[in-house]
Amino acid sequence: MEGKNAEEVNGIRLLAELGALRLSRLIRDRGDPELLEKYEYLLLPDADWQEIWEAEYATLIDSQNNEDAMGARMLRIAAHCGGDVALVLLELIMLKLEEPEADELLELVSKGNGKGVTLLTAARTAGYTGTLDTAMLPMKEAEEAASFLLSSEKGKDGSFFSRTWSGDSYLMGFLSGAEMKDPLTAEFTENWSPADGPVICFGMEERLKGLAENMRRLMDNEADRPFALIVDGERGSGRHTAVKALCEMLGVSLLTVDFSFLLGHKDPKDAIRRIVRSAALEGRALCVRNIKKQEDTLFLLERMEAKYREHCVLPLFLITGGDVKLVPMLKERWLSLRIPKGNELSLALWKGFFAEAPEGFPEAMASKMSLTAGQIKRVAQASEMLRSTGEVVDERRICRLCYEVLDDGRYENVKWVEPGFTFDDLKIDPQNKEILMEICRQASLRRKVYDEWGLRRQYAYGRAVSAILAGPPGTGKTMTVHALASFLGLELYKVDLSQVVDKYVGETEKRLDEVFDRAEKSNMILFFDEADAVMGKRSEVKDAQDRYANTEISFILQRIEEFDGIVLLSTNNLQNIDRAFMRRIRYVLTYELPNPETRREIWLSAFGDKVPLSEDIDLDFLTEKFDLSGGEIKNVVLNAVFCAAAEGKKVSMEHIMKAIYRESTKTKRIAFDGDYGKYAYMMRG
């Protein structure tokens, strides 16, 4: 044992030396001087029990007063060995590893053990002599500790006595002072310690400080009884960050494991043992994240808690998204922490992650976007990267980044629409424009009114910013929706009613619920075009079909009331909408066919600035004679422009009159009284 350099002395070596002392004393008591002489390089002929006890004290027990890392490791090993037989078992395993020739000595101590280390060998080496019954109890106690720390294999006869024990690569690494993970769990675990740097939880600091104080009191009062902290919240809300922040306040390191590892492992019992062993030996609290409701969840959590309670004293953190109730599964004490939805912390998060943003930006984003902490952090990182390339990142660009972060393929049954117009493009009644500005103000001031002024509790439902746009086709309803989305910087999603409405009972409600749920999570404007299809008047119940139709209407009424976003509905006839909708709709915008003055503006804007126009275009005549809607004027202009382009000419009055005639044949709405003077021949020309 003297040939080793000082730097090679580690936990393995220290335990091996203790094992050699134990064997020396045993062989001396047996009165076998030849063996002592033969293995003098390994054994100490004069070793006695007092010397062995002093060596163990210096190596293990006194380690608690030793500030070096190896001393702390040895102390934890000793604590988890329990009795002396398990400790001797570990010492002999390390001796066998260090000195392969020790096999012969171990065989002499315990005949027929296959040159492995058994509990019987350890018991005899520990000084239990006489009958087997004498060593049975300490061997059974040692088996529990050995099963936690070591690996084992069945012996030749398969008995308890012949089972051989060994250390795996993780235990060897731990004893040698290496910083390593258990190879079995490495892919699914994460190590963290307060030394890794400060943890920031915007908006949660005071709440976490109070919780940390409560946890510290529990840890001080009953230091040997671990308790669980259940952390609940939606994905990306900062649950794991909150756990790290608590551990930082408590001065505790953390080992995190993903629950999917336990669900997918072929031997969950051994996986749990190895995870808890890592936490116990390294002095870390354990965090199990992404706990989901599965068939084996109860079994795995009960086993995890029992094993952790048996070997650890630090808190056990359990992270879930709320889809599984953990409290009934726990046997010991527990605390809980609910991470609120993003909009409740939204302002603090936007201020924290965008500390250099212009005044008013955090408030605007907090009102418009309901993102989790993780999503806002990703948006902040993306915006910084864009700025580093020289790109101008304004509020509209930040909104676009928000949607890029949110887009996870959730948009089934809704169709994204690129907002193509602004308020400047709208040629609508001034009163409607004022209502639109009110809608914009409500969207921007939601956080102030509901959170700062405390109305969220009074308005637990009915917070949707909702409006019905009613009027004939082509009067600007859809353009208004586009302009609103463009002004707010929000994405517009048009519900595809052909995909939502289903003939099978209950399917329409299911799909509508999914649409509203995803719209709310995605902070998008929800647009129901021709909403009569699902929001028409309820009828007298004459058969099952009527009853189910009325159920659908009642469901969507309820869902609008629960919706926490912007929902817009358009209809060609307001009378077709069920009256119950009106109570739940915040605004109604009515659209009429434009008056001559407005029609003139629409004609001018429809041509734009670059279309070449002939001098013969009579704008006064077009405005006064044709009672066209805005949509019809745009159709006429577009068709006329294409005709002119095909002929290689400027757009003339003839092109426009032909386009008007073709538009008139579609609806038969435009009346001709023959009094069109010189332009009459152009209508059919």
Check residues 634 and 1 and name the one with the higher pLDDT: 634
Residue 547's pLDDT band (cuts 50, 70, 90): very low
Domain 186-338 fold: Rossmann fold (3.40.50)
* Residue 266 confidence (pLDDT): 87
Q: What is the three-class DSSP state of 414? A: strand
Mean pLDDT of 539-565: 63
User: pLDDT, tens digit, for every residue of 660-680?
Assistant: 888 887 766 554 545 566 777
Domain 596-683 fold: Helicase, Ruva Protein; domain 3 (1.10.8)
* Residue 504 confidence (pLDDT): 53
CATH C-level class of 423-590: alpha beta
CA atoms within 13 Å, Cβ hemisphere of 229: 26
pLDDT surpasses 90 at 476? no
When the pLDDT of each residue in the chain is averaged and rounded to a whole number, the result is 80
Q: At what angle do helices 169-176 and 11-30 cross, to 10 degrees?
A: 100
* Residue 4 confidence (pLDDT): 39
Evaluated on CA atoms 278, 279, 281, 283, the torsion sign reads positive
Q: Would you state the torsion angle of the CA atoms of residues 25, 27, 31, 32, taken in this order, to the nearest 10 degrees? A: -140
* Residue 543 confidence (pLDDT): 39
* Residue 208 confidence (pLDDT): 93
Choose the most confident range, by mean pLDDT, from 131-135, 331-335, 661-665. Answer: 331-335
Residue 343's pLDDT band (cuts 50, 70, 90): low
Q: Are 272 and 259 in contact (CB under 8 A)?
A: no
Tokens of 8: 């090679």
DSSP 507-565: HHHHHHHHHHHHHHHHT-EEEETTTHHHHB------SHHHHHHHHHHHHHHHHHHH--S
Tokens of 557: 């009424």
Q: Which amino acid type is present at position 247?
A: C
pLDDT surpasses 60 at 631? yes
Number of neighbouring beta carbons within 10 Å of residue 43: 23
User: pLDDT, tens digit, for every residue of 353-397?
Assistant: 998 888 888 888 888 787 888 888 999 999 999 988 888 888 888
- Report the range of poorest mean pLDDT among 264-278, 478-492, 603-617, 665-679: 665-679
Do 186-338 and 423-590 show the same overall fold?
yes
pLDDT surpasses 80 at 9? no
User: pLDDT, tens digit, for every residue of 102-112?
Assistant: 777 777 666 65
Q: Are 11 and 170 in contact (CB under 8 A)?
A: no
pLDDT surpasses 70 at 212? yes
d(CA 257, CA 274): 11
pLDDT surpasses 90 at 250? yes
In the chain, pLDDT over 70 holds for what percent of residues?
A: 81
Mean pLDDT of 154-168: 77
d(CA 107, CA 117): 9
Q: Are 465 and 563 in contact (CB under 8 A)?
A: no
Q: What is the three-class DSSP state of 9? A: coil
* Residue 397 confidence (pLDDT): 86
Boundaries of every domain in the chain: 6-176, 186-338, 342-402, 423-590, 596-683
Mean pLDDT of 140-165: 81
Number of neighbouring beta carbons within 10 Å of residue 617: 18
Which is nearest to 232 in space by CA: 291, 314, 302? Answer: 291
The phi, psi pair for 336, rounded to 5°, reads -140, 150
Residue 192's pLDDT band (cuts 50, 70, 90): very high
Tokens of 287: 């965090």
Check residues 447 and 387 and name the one with the higher pLDDT: 387
Q: Is 438 exposed, middle or buried (0-12, 13-18, 19+ CB in 10 A)?
A: middle
Number of neighbouring beta carbons within 10 Å of residue 614: 14
Q: Would you state the torsion angle of the CA atoms of residues 470, 476, 480, 483, taken in this order, to the nearest 10 degrees? A: 170
